[in-house]
């Protein structure tokens, strides 16, 4: 019961983080960053997404 109470908070945090990263990425794209910088940004946002999913589902699988 405690886990089902925590899940919406974790998902909300992941959504908020994803929104911030997406807006930052689109703003960076408007400045026409070099491809290397864009790939680094993609890698960082991927790590954040993976970390958020691990937090949400960690209680089930680990």
Residues 39-57 pLDDT 10s:
776 777 777 777 777 777 7
Residue 61 to residue 41: CA distance in whole angstroms: 28
DSSP string, 1-39: -HHHHHHHHHHHHHHHHHHHHHHHHHHHHHTT--HHHHH
Q: How many domains does the chain have?
A: 1
pTM: predicted TM-score of the whole model, two decimal places:
0.27
Residue range of the domain that includes 9 = 2-61
Q: Are 10 and 51 in contact (CB under 8 A)?
A: no
pLDDT at 6: 45
Please give the Cα distance from 47 to 55 (Å, whole number): 12
């Amino acid at each position: 019961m405690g886990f089902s109470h925590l899940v919406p908070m974790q998902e909300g945090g992941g959504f908020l983080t994803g929104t911030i990263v997406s807006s930052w990425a689109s703003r960076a794209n408007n400045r026409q960053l070099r491809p290397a910088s864009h790939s680094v940004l993609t890698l960082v946002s991927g790590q954040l997404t993976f970390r958020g999913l691990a937090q949400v589902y960690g209680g089930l699988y680990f």
